[in-house]
Every structure is written in C-alpha cells, then in structure tokens.
Structure 1
Amino acid sequence: MTIVYWGIIALLFVIAFIGLIYPIIPSVLFIAAGFILYGVLFGFQPFGPLFWLIQGLFILALFAADYLANLVGVKKFGGSKAGIWGSTIGLMVGPFVIPVAGIIIGPFVGAVLAELIFQRKSFFEAIHIGFGSLVGFFSGAITKGMIQAVMIVYFLITVL
C-alpha cells in the first residue's frame, strides 16, 4: 500500500504543476493536500512548526508571484489597472472558451479589450500591453513552478 499512497501524493503534486498552465486548478491546495495526505497516511511526526512556517512562507510567495508577475508584465508594457483586471479575467475565462489555446489567448485578449474600452488606448498600444500580459503570465508560471519545486523538495527532505 505504501507505493499506492506515494503514487497518490505524487499525483497531487503533478496536478499542482498542471495548475501552472491551467490556472483554474488551485496549485497550492494540491501541494498542501499532498503534505496533509502524507501526514494522515504515514504520520505528522516529521512536520514540526518550522516545516509549516517555511511552507506557509512559500505559499505566500506563490500568491505574491502570481499577482506581481501579472502586475509587472502589464505595467512594464504601459498598461493600466484595467489592463491588469482584463488580463486576469481573460486568464480565468480563456481556457473555458478556447480549451487549449485559451490559456494564452485569454489574458492577451482580456488586457487588449480592457485597454481599448476603458483606457481608450490605441490599437497598437493595447496590443503591446496584451503582449505584456503574456510575458507576465509566463514569467509568473516559471517563478511559481520553481517555488512549488522547492516546496516539494523540502517536503521530501523532511520526510525521507
């Protein structure tokens, strides 16, 4: 059964990484579920207060990376708060409207439309800002992927 339990824990971690490119999946919850499932199945003894403190800080870093990457990506390319909101909404809606490509098209279109409609930017300025939303999304996904990997490695070091 140990192999099955570890397989389920590994599956939760894999789903967390899928959440990097499919943001409707709450990555951090799947990582936390893997930790808690380990505790339930094998015992919580390896997890002291320091473990939970460090993992909690990593969780905060994940949320900050998500927010800041989008903010910096759109702002650096000349976008406004409307562009940030449009990009965020597009990121959530895009994958449902266009299943695979929506993850890229959604934030781009959201930022472009928000800048065109609410900020009255020129078409080319809005396209430039839309590109910035993509840069922010991809840089955020890379950063979050690295943080998640560190969280999992720290977990493995703690329990093995």
Structure 2
Amino acid sequence: MLEIVGWVFIIVLFTIGFIGLVYPIIPASLFIFGGFIIYGLFFSFADLPWWFWLIEILFVLLLFGADFLANAVGVKKFGGSKAGLIGSTVGLIFGPFIIPFAGILIGPFLGAIIAEMLVNKSSIKKSIRSGIGSVVGFITSALTKGIIQAIMVGLFFWVI
C-alpha cells in the first residue's frame, strides 16, 4: 500500500511539473526534482547513483536559465527593450489569472506592448513587435523546457 502512495506522489509531482510549462508561477523543475526525492524517501536513494543527481541538478539549473533567456531573446529579437521584457514577465505571471487559459499568451503580449508604450513612448507598431517577441519567447521556452523535463523524467525511469 505504501508503495502505491509513493508512486501517486511521484506521478502527481511530475504532472505538476509539466503543468508548470504553461503556468510560470509553478517552479516546474523543482516539482520534477521533488519526485526524485519522494522516490528516495519511499523506496531507496541507493537506486539513484551520484551521477544521476549531478545530471538532474544541472538540468534544473539549465531550466532556470533557459526560462529567462528565451523570453529575453524573444523580446530583444523583435526590437523590444528592457521595459518590454519586464512588461512581458509581469503579463506572463498575471495573465493566466486574469484571463484563464488564453491569458498565458495574451498576458505577456499585452504586458510587453503596454510597457514599451508607457516607458519608452514607442510606436504601436514597435510595441506590437515586442509583444510578438514575448509570445515567441514564451512558446520557445515552454517547448525547450518540456523537452528537458521529459529527458529528466526519462532518465529517472531508465535509472530505476
């Protein structure tokens, strides 16, 4: 019975981790990593060698960096500024709560546009380009993180 409870916790943590790909308020990689910890607590840490932990920690660090970098590159590539990046980040955090589901794309788009127009007095055309860049950055980030998280979970199942 305890074995089933352990696996339920692990699967729930992995699932929350993948939900975190589209809800940035959820620290996705930490939930995935938490699944590994739960496995060790319920089953055995001995099943997970030192090199497994090293690789997984490097993946977690990579995920944190990739998240910020993809958004920044997306905004900059489309002509946005630091204000657009900050606006898109604010929109990314609050968008899903204001407009469920669609807010995940509309939030950063509008956040970048509003920030560019307010802070830099940018034209609507330039502001919209920054907004598009923030959406492209978010989608790129989500895809990249999804692949890395899938590798993390795949490595876990391969090792055990």
Report the TM-score, using the length of structure 1 for normalisation: 0.95
- Paired residue for 1:118? 119
CA contact (8 A) 2:84 2:113 kept: yes
CA distance in 1, matches of 2:128, 2:135: 11
Q: More deviation in 9-18 or 141-150?
A: 9-18
Q: CA RMSD in A?
A: 1.0
| Number of the residue aligned with 2:28 | 27
- Counting aligned pairs with the same residue, the percent is 57
Distance 2:16 2:44 in 1: 23
Residue 13 of structure 1: SS of its match in structure 2? helix
Amino acid at match of 1:61: L
Could you tell me which residue of structure 2 aligns to residue 55 of structure 1? Answer: 56
Q: Which residue type is aligned with residue 102 of structure 1?
A: G
Q: What amino acid sits opposite 1:96 in the alignment?
A: F
- Of 78-87 and 95-104, more deviation after overlay is shown by 95-104
Stretches of structure 1 lacking an aligned partner (at least 5 in a row) = none
Counterparts of residues 4-153 of structure 1 (less than 5 Å): 4-153=5-154
Give TM-score scaled by structure 2 length: 0.95
Count of residues in Structure 1 that have an aligned counterpart in Structure 2: 159
TM-superposed CA distance for 1:99, in Å, is 1.9
Q: Runs in 1 of length 4+ with deviation above 6 angstroms? A: none
Query: Secondary structure of the equivalent of 1:21?
Result: coil
Structure 1 residues 32-71: Cα deviation after superposition (integer angstroms, max 9, x where no partner): 1100000000010022221111111101110111011101
Q: CA deviation at 1:12?
A: 1.1
Amino acid at match of 2:114: L
Distance 1:116 1:58 in 2: 37
Residue aligned with 1:45, SS: helix
1:100 and 1:157 map into 2 onto residues whose CA distance is 34
